[in-house]
Amino acid sequence: MRERRSGSSFNSLRSERKLESVFLFTTGKCNARCTMCFYAQDMEKKAADLSFEEIQKLSLSAGRFNRLWLSGGEPTLREDLPEIIEMFYKNNGIRDINFPTNGIKTDLLIDWLKRIRKNCPGSNISISISVDGFGETHDIQRGVPSFYKAAETLKKIDDNFRDDGKVIKNIATVITKYNVGEVLDFVLWVYGRFNVSTHTIEAARGTTREDGVKVVTEQSLREIQDALAPYYLLYARRIGEGMNALGRGITEFFYVGLMRAMYNIRAENIDKPTCWNMDCTAGETTLVLDYDGRFRACELRDPIGRVQDYDYDIQRIMQSQAMKAEIDAIGHGYKANCWCTHGCWIMSSIVFNPLKMMQKLMAANRETKKLNRPLDISEKVLTELEGKYRLDRDKLKALGIL
């Protein structure tokens, strides 16, 4: 029997602004060397990670909040991560866990997901595997040979959690100079070969490890997202399989609307900051905890303090003069004019702007349906792409992907 997804914290519209999302950079260690990493300079500080006991103090002081967004470094390099997640579930009642990973530590990740599902039964887990292109392209962009390992991880997640609606299987691809020419082919291939719920396309953000990897402009991103519009509808229908007609309709409206609205905001902000036409709620509804204890209102803004100086008390941090000054400086985005392309902050803000959200979702659905077209995702096309990009079909067969 298929396990149904729990009500996500994104499923409700609300105007009360309070801490809803904690972004926890679990470690400053990583087993990849991504060319587009925006956190490389922070990790190069080689500071010590917060201990379990320090994170426990933060959890005990935080009160209830909905979403725990993991980050890093590579989260699977934090050996006590399952205990940390379980602690936030017990102490803070988290309903959604966002778990990004490069997928290199396959068996460990499967074991952890099984454990988290058992010990955090009321939470949804969005497991997001980073795959940036076909074979060699992915390996160059990630700085380590890991394409087939990531593919294996995706397959094993599906094998173990195919009927578990609380494990949401995602792929994240960051567009750079290395993969921009193949991203449309890659999205088609991913949809045809993997049973994932979402495939998000990110523009590289912040200060990247390698200079010159950012190549996307507003025009080029709009061209890419217009070409991808039919996939939003396909993924929405995949997610809605097994639901009644009403459930499928609601799922499609929100999924398609959120994806298109997010991409529109990203495109508008690639070349220069452009008002989102809704408040950014950074610092009001979000808190970023760096791996070494620095804290921020937003990943893309500078740290404003250290948790050590607030006795690891999140309530004190959220009410501190430092956070109040930062919220005032941001001015919901309007004062700082720091409008960004960061999907996590777009998504974290949009639910706290309910009227604006509904307006954006309706417009986004109309746009997407106008852009819909038939897609050829036949075995012939998929096989041709594997030949074009020199994938090792024997390896793919051994992994059970073909």
Q: Domain residues for 61?
A: 21-216+279-352+372-398
Q: What percent of the residues of the chain are helix, what percent strand, and what percent coil, each to the nearest 5? A: 45, 10, 40
Burial 318-338 (b: 16+ CB within 10 A, else e): bebebbeebbeebebbeebeb
Asked if residues 91 and 19 have their Cβ atoms less than 8 Å apart, the reply is: no
Q: Which helix (H) or strand (E) holds 328?
A: helix 321-330
E-strand stretches of 31-82: 67-71
Residue 342 makes CB contacts below 8 A (sequence gap 6+) with 205, 298, 299, 300
Q: What is the pLDDT, as a whole number, of residue 144?
A: 96
Asked if the structure places residue 1 within a domain, the reply is: no
Q: What is the pLDDT, as a whole number, of residue 10?
A: 47
Asked if the structure places residue 292 within a domain, the reply is: yes
Q: What is the pLDDT, as a whole number, of residue 9?
A: 46
Asked if the structure places residue 315 within a domain, the reply is: yes
- What letter represents residue 201's amino acid? I
Q: What is the pLDDT, as a whole number, of residue 3?
A: 61
* Predicted confidence pLDDT, tens digits, the chain (402 residues): 356 655 544 445 556 789 999 999 999 999 999 998 888 888 888 899 999 999 999 999 999 999 999 998 999 999 999 999 999 999 999 999 999 999 999 999 999 999 999 999 999 999 999 999 999 999 999 999 999 999 999 999 999 999 999 999 999 999 999 999 999 999 999 999 999 999 999 888 888 999 999 999 999 999 999 999 999 999 999 999 889 999 999 999 999 999 999 999 999 999 999 999 999 999 999 999 999 999 999 999 999 999 999 999 999 999 999 999 999 999 999 999 999 999 888 988 998 999 999 999 999 999 999 999 999 999 999 999 999 999 999 999 999 999
Asked if the structure places residue 247 within a domain, the reply is: no
Q: What is the pLDDT, as a whole number, of residue 1?
A: 39
Could you tell me how far CA 139 lies from the centroid of its own chain? 20
Asked if the structure places residue 269 within a domain, the reply is: no
Q: What is the pLDDT, as a whole number, of residue 119?
A: 98
E-strand stretches of 72-131: 96-101, 124-130
Query: What is the three-class DSSP state of 355?
Result: helix
Asked if the structure places residue 237 within a domain, the reply is: no
Residue 279 makes CB contacts below 8 A (sequence gap 6+) with 332, 333, 349, 352, 353
Q: Which helix (H) or strand (E) holds 153?
A: helix 147-161
Q: How many domains does the chain have?
A: 1
Query: Which CATH number is 135's domain given?
Result: 3.20.20.70
How far is Cα 186 from Cα 156, in angstroms, rounded to an integer? 20
Instruction: Please state the pTM of the whole predicted model.
Output: 0.93
